[in-house]
């Protein structure tokens, strides 16, 4: 997901490709990004990358420490080993803190307390709730999920959180609510990426109410048996394991219930490449690269990608009758 007009001859299809954008030259010049740095930032985790940016995994006290580790829900199993924390905590997409994968250090600047989530739109009664009140009103569980970025890399992560389904009981949407619109914090003083005005900040994502009612979407508050680290989107992010990673919005400050389909951050930037549904499908390539296989982070392995990232049994029915829509990207 880089911001340059990348021509086919500058970036071979064979390399893991960033969620690159076709923006105008003015933005590229403003960003001071040259072709060389784009190419350097585009590859999957390499041994050399890892040496130079291994994240600091020291922990600071968190007001929810007593809730971890949460009980694992054993119904979610993996077909591959968990990704090492040192790998996944050092290879992130978090554009608020920069366009490289190495943003863990910058993300530490973000304070995650106090943190309030605003719930508004088509609900019985709009309200605001502090993150700790919210977490303590819900049931935390751990789930092992595969996670697949549209850039064709993948990891396997032990997330902790509460189901989005259970959040609906707290939010109390009215019958007119058809979509949930999620919004990330906005504060360019700590998130320098938000000074880049050609992006449509704040980061926004959305799902349908039917998707939200499914059992899979997790409102994530922790990872690897501990409260969430900043680079993963603390203190609250969404995880939608059957969709490309960009749908899994980080650092949520607002959830709005709407009648009309909201436009996501990436859709606003490049709708032809990043659509609303963004369900994983190996048979539907991104306009500029294949989605048939994925690079397993932390290994040299490239494995076949599965339809709905392997979660078809749980979610395929959500898309029956919608075949005319662009369900995959």
Ligand X SMILES: Nc1nc2c(c(=O)[nH]1)N[C@H]1C(S)=C(S)[C@@H](COP(=O)(O)O)O[C@H]1N2
- Residue in 64, 83, 92, 100 binding ligand X, rule: CB under 6 A: 92
Q: Is 160 in the site for ligand X (CB under 6 A)?
A: no
For 269, residues 6+ apart whose C-beta sits below 8 A from its C-beta are 21, 23, 199, 200
| Contact window for ligand X (CB under 6 A) among 169-177, 209-217, 240-248, 318-326 | 240-248
Residue number, 214 or 229, with CB nearest to ligand X: 229
219 to 238, contacts with ligand X by CB under 6 A?
232-233
| Rounded-to-integer distance, Cα 206 and Cα 288, Å | 24
Q: Is 305 in the site for ligand X (CB under 6 A)?
A: no
Q: Is 250 in the site for ligand X (CB under 6 A)?
A: yes
| Contact window for ligand X (CB under 6 A) among 87-95, 118-126, 171-179, 306-314 | 87-95
Q: Quick one: tokens of 313?
A: 């049994």
Taking CA atoms, 174 is separated from 42, 49, 62, 134, 259, in Å, by 44, 48, 34, 20, 10
Residue number, 140 or 296, with CB nearest to Mo ion: 296
Q: Is 183 in the site for ligand X (CB under 6 A)?
A: no
Q: Is 245 in the site for ligand X (CB under 6 A)?
A: yes
- Residue in 131, 149, 155, 240 binding Mo ion, rule: CB under 5 A: 149
| Contact window for ligand X (CB under 6 A) among 25-33, 113-121, 246-254, 268-276 | 246-254
Q: Is 93 in the site for ligand X (CB under 6 A)?
A: yes
77 to 106, contacts with Mo ion by CB under 5 A?
93
- Which option in Mo ion, ligand X, none does residue 217 bind, with CB closer than 5 to 8 A by kind? none
| Rounded-to-integer distance, Cα 175 and Cα 264, Å | 23
The residues that touch ligand X, with contacts defined as CB under 6 A, are 1, 19, 92-96, 149, 184, 203, 232-233, 245-246, 248-251
């Amino acid at each position: 997901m880089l911001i340059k007009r990348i021509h086919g001859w500058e970036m071979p299809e064979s390399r893991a490709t960033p969620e690159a954008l076709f923006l105008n030259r003015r933005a590229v010049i403003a960003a001071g990004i040259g072709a060389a740095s784009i190419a350097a930032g585009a590859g999957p985790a390499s041994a050399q990358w890892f040496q130079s940016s291994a994240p600091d995994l020291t922990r600071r006290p968190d007001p929810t420490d007593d809730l971890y580790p949460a009980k694992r829900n054993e119904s979610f199993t993996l077909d591959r080993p968990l990704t090492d924390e040192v790998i996944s905590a050092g290879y992130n997409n978090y554009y608020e803190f920069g366009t490289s994968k190495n943003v863990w250090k910058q993300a530490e600047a973000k304070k995650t307390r106090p943190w309030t989530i605003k719930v508004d739109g088509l609900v019985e009664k709009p309200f605001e709730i502090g993150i700790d009140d919210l977490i303590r009103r819900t049931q935390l569980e751990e789930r092992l999920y595969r996670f697949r970025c549209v850039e064709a890399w993948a990891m396997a992560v032990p997330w902790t959180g509460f189901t989005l389904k259970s959040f609906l009981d707290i939010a109390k949407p009215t019958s007119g609510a058809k979509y949930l619109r999620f919004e990330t914090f906005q504060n360019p003083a700590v998130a320098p990426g938000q000074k880049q005005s050609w992006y449509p900040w704040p980061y926004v994502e959305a799902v349908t109410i039917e998707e939200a009612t499914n059992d899979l979407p997790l409102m994530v508050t922790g990872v690897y048996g501990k409260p969430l680290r900043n680079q993963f989107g603390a203190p609250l992010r969404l995880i939608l394991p059957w969709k490309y990673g960009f749908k899994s919005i980080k650092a949520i400050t607002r959830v709005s219930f709407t009648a009309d389909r909201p436009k996501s951050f990436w859709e606003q930037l490049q709708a032809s490449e990043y659509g609303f549904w963004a369900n994983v499908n190996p048979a539907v390539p991104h306009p500029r690269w294949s989605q048939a296989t994925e690079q397993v982070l932390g290994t040299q392995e490239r494995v076949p990608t599965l339809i709905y990232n392997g979660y078809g049994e749980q979610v395929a029915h959500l898309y029956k009758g919608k075949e005319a829509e662009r369900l995959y990207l």
